[in-house]
Homo-oligomer: A and B are copies of this chain.
C-alpha cells in the first residue's frame, strides 16, 4: 500500500457561533481535521470523508495514541480508491468528539470543561461544523461526501439539508432513521457509563478518575454488534485462550472473552466517555424524515440532483440492507440518480473498514477522477 501523505493536520477555530438543532449555539468551536492531496485551482476536487461513532480525523495517518494506521489507510492515498493524487480529501473530527474538535471535554467560556453542560448535538450539527470548516478551507462545493455507518448518516444529512454543497453522496452501511434495536444498544452503552461511580455525573475531568470500567463495558457491547456471528465463530469459536482446559473460574477462558476485554480496555485509552454519550445520543436522535412527517423521500427531495451511491453488506445485522433499501426507494421516489449495491462480505457492520475489494471498486468507480 502506498504511503498516504497528510497535507494538513491542524485545528481551526470557527469565527462565528455554531447554531445547533437544540436551539443553543456554541461559541469558539474548534475543529480538528486532516487533509490529504491538494485543492485544485477550480476548487472542485474536494472530498469530505465523515467518520463513524468512535472514529477520528486520522483517516490515513497513524493514530497519535495507538500508533495504528489510520482507520481508512487502505482506502485513501496516492493511487488508492480515494486517490489523493487527484482529490483533496478532508476528514474532520466530529463535533462532540475528543480528538481535537470541541466536545464535552473541551473548556467552556468559564474555563472549566463543558462536561454534561455541553449541548446535546445532532448528526446535522456535526454536518454544520463540517460545512463551517469547508468554508474556511475555501471549498464551496464537494466533488463527493463519503461515509460509513454514522459517517453515512452525516452524508445523508448533508445531502438532504445542503444539496448545493455536494455533487455526489456515498453512503455505506447506514440508515435514514435509527432503528429501535440500535437505539436500545446505544442506551445500554450510555447506561454502562453512567452507572460507573467514576463518571461523577460527567464531571470527572481533572479528578484523576474516569469511568473507564463503564466505558469498556459499553465498548464491549457495541463491538459485538459490529461483527457478524460468522466472524466471531470463525475467528474465535469456542477456542480457549492460552490454556488447555476450562479453569472453572471467571477469567477469560475463551479467546472471544479475552478479545472483547482487550477491545474494551484499549478503547478507554483513546476515547472520552462523555463524548461517547453525546455521539451515541446524536445517533439515536437521527431521523432524516422527522421534520417531514417521517417521509424520507420528502426529506431527500431537495437532493434530487445529487448523485447517490448506497452500499450495504449482507452480513451487517446492525445496519442491514433493508435500511439502505429504504433510502434507495426514497431516492427513486424523488427521481434522484442512485446506484445501490449489497456487497457480500463476511465481517458484519465492520465490513466497511475491512478488506472488501468489491467496496474499493465501488468507491473508485463512483468517485471517478
Which range contains the number of A residues in contact with the other chain? 35 or more
Interface string of A115-131 (1 = CB under 8 A from B): 01001100000000000
**What residues of chain B lie closer than 8 Å to A287, measured between beta carbons?**
238
Query: How far apart are the CA atoms of A23 and B178 in the complex, in Å?
Result: 49
If A195-B213, A221-B221, A257-B187 touch, does A180 touch B232 (CB 8 Å cutoff)? yes
Instruction: Count copies of this chain in the complex.
Output: 2
Contact A264 B191 (CB under 8 A): yes
Selecting from A25-33, A245-253, A304-312, the interface stretch reads: A245-253
Q: How far is the CA of A214 from the CA of B177 in the complex (A)?
A: 30
Q: Mark each residue of chain A from 158 to 191: 1 if its CB lies under 8 Å from any CB of chain B, else 0.
A: 0000000000000000000111110111011011
Given A119-B248, A195-B196, A195-B216, also A183-B281 (CB < 8 A): no
- Grouping DSSP codes into helix (H, G, I), strand (E, B) and loop, the A interface class, with mixed when no group exceeds half, is helix
Chain B residues whose C-beta falls within 8 Å of the C-beta of A192 in the assembled complex:
192, 195, 217
What is the CA–CA distance of A16 and B195 in the complex, to the nearest angstrom? 43
Q: With A238-B287, A250-B281 known to touch, is A191 a contact of B217 (CB < 8 Å)?
A: yes
Contact A184 B257 (CB under 8 A): yes
Residue pair A233, B181 in contact (C-beta under 8 Å): yes
In the bound assembly, the distance between CA atoms of A185 and B224 in angstroms comes to: 7
Docked pose: A214 CA to B213 CA in angstroms: 11
CB < 8 Å neighbour of A229 from B179, B213, B238, B256: B179
Which of A22, A232, A248 has the most CB atoms of chain B within a 10 A radius of its CB?
A248
Check if A250 sits within 8 Å of B194, measured CB to CB: yes
* B residues less than 8 Å from A184 (CB atoms): 220, 224, 232, 256-257, 260
Q: Which chain A residues in 191-219 approach chain B with CB under 8 Å?
A: 191-192, 194-197, 213-214, 216-217
B-side contacts of A177, CB under 8 Å: 238
Q: Is A284 an interface residue (CB 8 A)?
A: yes
Bound Cα distance A187, B317 (Å): 20
Assess A180 versus B237: contact at CB under 8 Å? Given A192-B192, A260-B187. yes
Whether a CB of chain B sits under 8 angstroms from the CB of A285 is yes
Contacts of A235 in B (CB 8 A): 180
14 A-B pairs (CB sep. < 8 Å): A180-B232, A180-B233, A180-B235, A183-B257, A184-B220, A184-B224, A184-B232, A184-B257, A187-B256, A188-B217, A188-B224, A190-B250, A195-B213, A217-B217
Q: Which A-B residue pairs are the 6 nearest by beta carbons? A: A195-B213, A22-B248, A180-B232, A120-B248, A187-B257, A181-B229
Additional A-B contact list (11), CB under 8 Å, known A180-B254, A184-B220, A192-B217: A21-B248, A23-B248, A178-B238, A179-B232, A180-B236, A183-B257, A187-B220, A187-B254, A188-B221, A195-B196, A250-B277
